[in-house]
């Protein structure tokens, strides 16, 4: 089976995310919707369905979306699976970036302005995983997604040659 390591890591990461209730139910998708709807108000109903219904629904699934994406990749729907995984990991990836940024600021003391430090800490508190299992699940799922690559046609031809011999 192609992408075996990536699929296994995605499923393990998705299970960890499910156990710790890591979901993408934050204001990211509403913000995207508001920006796009304000820019092109005539397309507002379409954006509402696409962003708030489809994307938000997938993101709210969190770990389940990652597992569903891994299953889709296993059955051959590579693009759709990776798309669903990306949306399911949106919250986790942003939270991971904010966590890394907060840790760098805490350890190095680069930013000393109390107002900026307060806002960064407040942002950290909003995006906090709450458990190490959720953090680990997101990291494992991100690593698993990086293992899933599109197979080049040349490699497929070589695999067919070797399997026929």
- Residue-range domain boundaries for the chain: 4-24+62-156
Residue 26 has pLDDT above 60, yes or no: no
Specify the pLDDT at position 158.
Answer: 60
**Quick check: 16 and 63 in contact, CB under 8 A?**
yes
More confident residue, 30 or 17: 17
Of 3-12, 17-26, 31-40, 111-120, the range with the lowest mean pLDDT is: 17-26
Residue 103 has pLDDT above 80, yes or no: yes
Specify the pLDDT at position 17.
Answer: 84
More confident residue, 75 or 35: 75
For 72-81, the CB contacts below 8 A with 24+ separation are 73/3, 73/6, 73/7, 73/10, 73/148, 74/1, 74/3, 74/7, 78/148, 78/150, 81/148
Residue 129 has pLDDT above 90, yes or no: no
Of 10-14, 127-131, 138-142, the range with the lowest mean pLDDT is: 127-131
Specify the pLDDT at position 9.
Answer: 93
* Across 104-125, average pLDDT: 79
Q: Report residue 72's pLDDT band, with 50, 70 and 90 as the boundaries.
A: very high
| Percent over 90 (pLDDT), the chain | 11
């Amino acid at each position: 089976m192609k992408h075996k390591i990536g699929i296994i890591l995605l499923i393990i990461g998705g299970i960890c995310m499910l156990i710790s209730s890591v979901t993408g139910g934050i204001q990211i998708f509403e913000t995207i919707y508001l920006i796009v709807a304000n820019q092109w108000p005539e397309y507002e109903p379409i954006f509402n369905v696409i962003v708030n219904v489809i994307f938000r629904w997938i993101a709210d699934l969190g770990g389940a979306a990652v597992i569903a994406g891994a299953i889709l990749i296993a059955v051959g729907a590579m693009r759709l699976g990776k798309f669903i995984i990306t949306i399911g990991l949106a919250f986790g990836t942003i939270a991971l970036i904010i966590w890394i940024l907060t840790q760098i600021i805490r350890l190095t003391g680069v930013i000393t302005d109390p107002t900026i430090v307060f806002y960064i800490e407040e942002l950290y508190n909003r995006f906090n995983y709450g458990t190490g299992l959720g953090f680990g699940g997101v990291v494992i799922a991100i690593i698993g997604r990086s293992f899933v690559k599109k197979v080049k046609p040349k490699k497929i031809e070589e695999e067919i040659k070797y399997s026929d011999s």
